[in-house]
Amino acid sequence: MPDVVAHITGTIWTIEVEVGDTVEEGDVVVLLESMKMEMPVEAEHSGVVTEIRCHEGQPVSQGDVLVVLE
């Protein structure tokens, strides 16, 4: 099961997907705010969003699972 993980420590700015959405490799699923910059987090694999493990305003660390794809 491919997970979408935070590539940098920051705060969840916006979540661009919902459970049930189909995403393609390279689609932006979450925007992180880090050092006053918005950083897109992209899906590394195509799939369907089965779980969202974060919420807007939540601080996250590098490597945290943000979205689960099936």
**What whole-number distance in Å separates Cα of residue 39 and Cα of residue 22?**
21
State the DSSP code for 2. Answer: P
pLDDT value at 1 more than 80: no
Instruction: State the first-to-last Cα distance of the chain, in angstroms, to the nearest integer.
Output: 6
Under the banding of pLDDT at 50, 70 and 90, the label for residue 46 is very high
Give residue 39's pLDDT: 96
**What whole-number distance in Å separates Cα of residue 49 and Cα of residue 59?**
21
Q: What is the fold, at CATH topology level, of the domain defined by 3-69?
A: OB fold (Dihydrolipoamide Acetyltransferase, E2P) (2.40.50)
For the chain, the structural domain boundaries read 3-69
* DSSP reduced 3-state for 26: coil
CA dihedral 25, 26, 32, 38 (to 10 degrees): -170
pLDDT (tens digit per residue) in 3-24: 999 999 999 999 999 999 999 9
pLDDT (tens digit per residue) in 47-69: 999 999 999 999 999 999 999 99
State the DSSP code for 12. Answer: E
Give residue 56's pLDDT: 97
